[in-house]
């Protein structure tokens, strides 16, 4: 969803105008305990198009003078927004503070819509046109209080906001793409044979690549799925030099081409470093992950005890990955794969609205603020989910958040919104 930042010096009527845009009467400022006044973002729609409004009003809690506050607003607006709504009081005209904002906005490559506020009637409209001299294009005369001109203003805003791509960045259409990965002899091809065995199998050459991968389209649970590079699973290359290198190249290429990876692990053996390297590759490429513990027929009570310990120790990075226990050779519990894939893909494509996210962040910070380090306390000012698949969050902060605090945020995000089966990406944009 595109983001519109509203910028302007105090008392020009910014908050009233924001209320007008989002169609609410109550004050913009949320005064719930722990929610700082500067975290104000709202979901808005106009003519059927959704966008997020960020009121940069009280943005910088630490800045002293008016000039710093205004500069901080403009800076934030420029860095996070797709477009800027710059509000000027037409009855006052431009001040030095306004000119300072104009300078910053001119340098940035973001579209700006100029609102000349407090034009309550036709007589004062002329004052709005004096704002042409700011060099920001046409001033839109509005009365935030009465609503006069706000429709035209919003039309102008929509005209400069980028169109969201349909469905955002979710890969659209086509069967879901799955990569079955794991060490040799863990049972990958046994699993594939069980899945594809009796069903209709279509082999599809993905030509043009050096390793010449072959995908198979397999019908499971009434739907078609694309299994990536099954040649790499079915063909056993023996004794070739550099074999291991090519196998791992093949694995990472398959993961890159897939949406979800199924890591097959031999449950009767210890989780290996190679398993962990594959998990690392999945996380780095931002794909969804399901872990299948195969050869469950060989797992007795004692092995089970140790496996549970290994899972705790070696899979700490991916406690969110759905796990299934299967016996590929007999087909036992292989039917549990599809529901696990569905859950992982759902988590991978989960989207949280900016409003929900920021009220969640407000609660999180209230419950557990960032620790103070050498007299400073990093703060989260505003967050937005920039994409799905995998869910990616941009956090605007004052000061850099510690890694442990990032992990805390991730854990709480998962408790709140799920994201089962998917890595989460947190990007920090500290201002300073």
Q: How far is the CB of 266 from ligand GDP (least distance, A)?
A: 8
Count of CB atoms situated within 10 Å of the CB of 16: 17
Task: CB nearer to ligand GDP: give 182 or 390.
Answer: 182
Task: CB nearer to ligand GDP: give 44 or 264.
Answer: 264
Q: Does 186 bind ligand GDP (CB under 6 A)?
A: yes
Residue 188 annotated as lining a ligand binding site: yes
Q: Does 370 bind ligand GDP (CB under 6 A)?
A: no
Instruction: State both tokens at 141.
Output: 């005369």
Find the binder of ligand GDP among 298, 304, 366, 376 (CB under 6 A): 298
Q: Does 329 bind ligand GDP (CB under 6 A)?
A: yes
Q: Does 185 bind ligand GDP (CB under 6 A)?
A: yes
Residue 57 annotated as lining a ligand binding site: yes
Task: CB nearer to ligand GDP: give 189 or 354.
Answer: 189
> What single string gives the DSSP state of each residue in 86-104?
EEEETTT---HHHHHHHHH
Find the binder of ligand GDP among 14, 39, 295, 370 (CB under 6 A): 295
Find the binder of ligand GDP among 73, 189, 230, 251 (CB under 6 A): 189
Find the binder of ligand GDP among 57, 187, 322, 347 (CB under 6 A): 187
Please give the Cα distance from 20 to 320 (Å, whole number): 42
Place of tokens 């899972």: 311
Q: How far is the CB of 325 from ligand GDP (least distance, A)?
A: 10
Count of CB atoms situated within 10 Å of the CB of 222: 6
Q: How far is the CB of 310 from ligand GDP (least distance, A)?
A: 18
Q: Is 116 helix (H, G, I), strand (E, B) or coil?
A: strand
Please give the Cα distance from 386 to 152 (Å, whole number): 28
Find the binder of ligand GDP among 188, 250, 287, 379 (CB under 6 A): 188
Task: CB nearer to ligand GDP: give 293 or 382.
Answer: 293
Which own/partner pairs from 336-343 qualify as long-range (CB within 8 Å, at least 24 positions apart)? 337/195, 337/220, 337/262, 337/290, 337/292, 338/220, 338/221, 340/290, 340/421, 341/176, 341/178, 341/225, 341/260, 341/262, 341/290, 343/420, 343/421
Find the binder of ligand GDP among 281, 294, 398, 422 (CB under 6 A): 294
Asked if residues 351 and 321 have their Cβ atoms less than 8 Å apart, the reply is: no
Please give the Cα distance from 17 to 14 (Å, whole number): 5
Q: Does 233 bind ligand GDP (CB under 6 A)?
A: yes
Q: Does 328 bind ligand GDP (CB under 6 A)?
A: yes
Residue 225 annotated as lining a ligand binding site: no
Helical (H) or strand (E) element with 282: helix 273-285
Q: Does 190 bind ligand GDP (CB under 6 A)?
A: yes
Task: CB nearer to ligand GDP: give 189 or 385.
Answer: 189
Q: Which stretch binds ligand GDP (CB under 6 A): 24-32, 289-297, 346-354, 361-369?
A: 289-297
Compute φ and ψ for 188, nearest 5 degrees. Answer: -60, -50
Reduced DSSP (H G I as helix, E B as strand, rest coil) percent helix, strand, coil of the chain, to 5: 40, 25, 40
Residues that bind ligand GDP (CB under 6 A): 182, 184-190, 233, 294-295, 297-298, 327-329
Q: Annotated binding site for GTP, which residues?
A: 8-15, 55-59, 117-120, 182-189, 229-233, 294-297
């Amino acid at each position: 969803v595109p983001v519109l930042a509203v910028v302007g010096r105090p008392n020009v009527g910014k908050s009233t105008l924001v209320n007008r845009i989002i169609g609410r009467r109550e004050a913009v400022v949320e005064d719930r305990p722990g929610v700082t006044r500067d975290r104000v973002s709202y979901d808005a729609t106009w003519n059927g198009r959704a966008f997020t409004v960020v009121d940069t009003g009280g943005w910088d809690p630490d800045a002293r003078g008016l000039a710093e506050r205004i500069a901080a607003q403009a800076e934030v607006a420029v860095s996070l927004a797709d477009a800027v709504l710059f509000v000027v009081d037409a009855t006052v005209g431009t001040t030095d503070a306004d000119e300072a904002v104009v300078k910053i906005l001119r340098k940035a490559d973001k579209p700006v819509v100029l609102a000349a506020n407090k034009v309550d009637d036709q007589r004062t409209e002329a004052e709005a046109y004096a704002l042409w001299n700011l060099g920001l294009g046409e001033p839109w005369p509005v009365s935030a209080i009465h609503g006069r001109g706000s429709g035209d203003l919003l039309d102008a805003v929509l005209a400069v906001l980028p169109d969201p791509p349909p469905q955002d960045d979710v890969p659209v259409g086509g069967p879901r793409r799955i990569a079955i990965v794991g060490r040799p002899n863990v049972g990958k091809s046994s699993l594939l044979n069980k899945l594809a065995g009796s069903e209709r199998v279509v082999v599809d050459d993905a030509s043009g690549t050096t390793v010449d991968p072959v995908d198979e389209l397999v019908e499971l649970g009434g739907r078609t799925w694309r299994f990536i590079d099954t040649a790499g699973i079915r063909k056993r290359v023996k004794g070739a030099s550099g074999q291991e290198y090519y196998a791992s190249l093949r694995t990472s290429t398959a993961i890159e081409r897939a949406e979800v990876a199924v890591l097959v692990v031999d449950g009767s053996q210890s989780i290996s470093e190679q398993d962990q390297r594959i998990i690392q590759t999945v996380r780095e490429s931002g794909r969804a992950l399901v872990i299948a513990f195969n050869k469950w027929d060989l797992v007795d009570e004692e092995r089970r005890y140790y496996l549970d310990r290994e899972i705790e120790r070696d899979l700490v990075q991916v406690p969110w990955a759905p796990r299934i226990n299967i016996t590929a050779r007999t087909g036992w519990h292989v039917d549990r794969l599809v529901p696990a894939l569905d859950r992982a893909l759902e988590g991978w494509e989960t989207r949280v609205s900016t409003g929900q996210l920021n009220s969640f962040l407000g609660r999180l910070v209230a419950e557990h603020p960032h620790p103070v380090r050498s007299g400073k306390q990093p703060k989260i000012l505003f967050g937005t989910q920039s994409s799905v698949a995998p869910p990616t969050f941009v956090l605007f902060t004052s000061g850099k958040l510690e890694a442990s605090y990032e992990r805390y945020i991730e854990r709480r995000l998962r408790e709140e919104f799920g994201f089962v089966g998917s890595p989460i990406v947190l990007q920090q944009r500290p201002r300073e």
